[in-house]
């Protein structure tokens, strides 16, 4: 949630309250720079409660989507740096370069970047599929990768 409440440096993690004194969010970020003073962000209280409950009961936050790989921007490509065993490891290999992505049913490809890949995955549901075009050993290959629930 976005707020224009004054957030001082170091207040990340503090409560955001309405005029009735009710907790409505947990401050997690402040933007700063020319022309954007007073712009802050908070995790809604309902989300924070779910996160805390999941962490206490399960030891991790449930329901978070992942491709079960780690990756980094490498020039104009997204390079895979690790693949979790048992999760898409039959598709992805360390060193693969993700060139393009699209959700099933889309006709056009989107050039991959870390930001685009993170955004796509974060808006998908567990069990959804994501089409990826990777460059490996001198050729392009297209795969359909499953979205899994993140577990540490």
Q: Is the pLDDT of residue 73 over 80?
A: yes
Same domain, 117 and 45: no
Q: Are residues 81 and 136 in the same domain?
A: yes
Dihedral-angle region of residue 111 (phi above 0 means left; psi in -120 to 50 means alpha; beta otherwise): beta
The DSSP secondary-structure symbol of 112 reads -
CA dist 45 and 57 (Å) reads: 18
For 80-122, write each residue's pLDDT tens digit: 999 999 898 899 999 999 999 999 889 999 999 999 999 999 9
pLDDT band at 152 (very low <50, low <70, confident <90, very high): confident
Q: Decide if 103 contacts 145 (C-beta within 8 A).
A: no
Residues 6 or more apart whose Cβ sits within 8 Å of residue 131: 101, 102, 103, 104, 106, 142, 143, 144, 145
Rounded average pLDDT over 18-27: 89
Same-domain status, 6 and 29:
yes
Nearest Cα neighbor of 26 from 40, 9, 37 is 40
User: How wide is the angle at C-alpha 144 spanned by C-alphas 140 and 74, nearest 5°?
Assistant: 50
Task: Give yes or no: residues 26 and 73 share one domain.
Answer: no
Rounded to whole angstroms, the Cα distance separating 60 from 100 reads: 30
- Host domain of residue 31: 2-58
Per-residue pLDDT tens digits for 123-147: 999 999 999 999 999 999 999 999 9
**What CATH number does the domain containing 14 carry?**
2.40.10.10
Domains in the chain, number: 2
Cα R_g (the chain), whole angstroms: 19
If you average pLDDT over residues 43-70, what whole number do you get? 91
Structure tokens at 93: 């290999």
């Amino acid at each position: 949630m976005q707020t224009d409440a004054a957030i001082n440096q170091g207040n990340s993690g503090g409560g955001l309250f309405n005029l009735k004194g009710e907790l409505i969010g947990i401050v997690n970020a402040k933007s700063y720079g020319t022309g954007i003073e007073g712009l802050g962000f908070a995790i809604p209280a309902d989300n924070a409660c779910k996160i805390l409950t999941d962490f206490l009961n399960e030891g991790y936050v449930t329901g978070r989507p992942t491709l079960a790989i780690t990756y980094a921007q490498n020039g104009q490509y997204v390079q895979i740096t690790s693949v979790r065993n048992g999760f898409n490891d039959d598709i992805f290999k360390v060193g693969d370069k993700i060139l393009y992505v699209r959700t099933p049913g889309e006709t056009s490809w989107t050039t991959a970047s870390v930001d685009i890949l993170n955004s796509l995955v974060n808006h998908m549901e567990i069990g959804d599929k994501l089409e990826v075009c990777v460059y490996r050993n001198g050729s392009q290959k297209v795969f359909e990768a499953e979205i899994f629930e993140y577990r540490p």
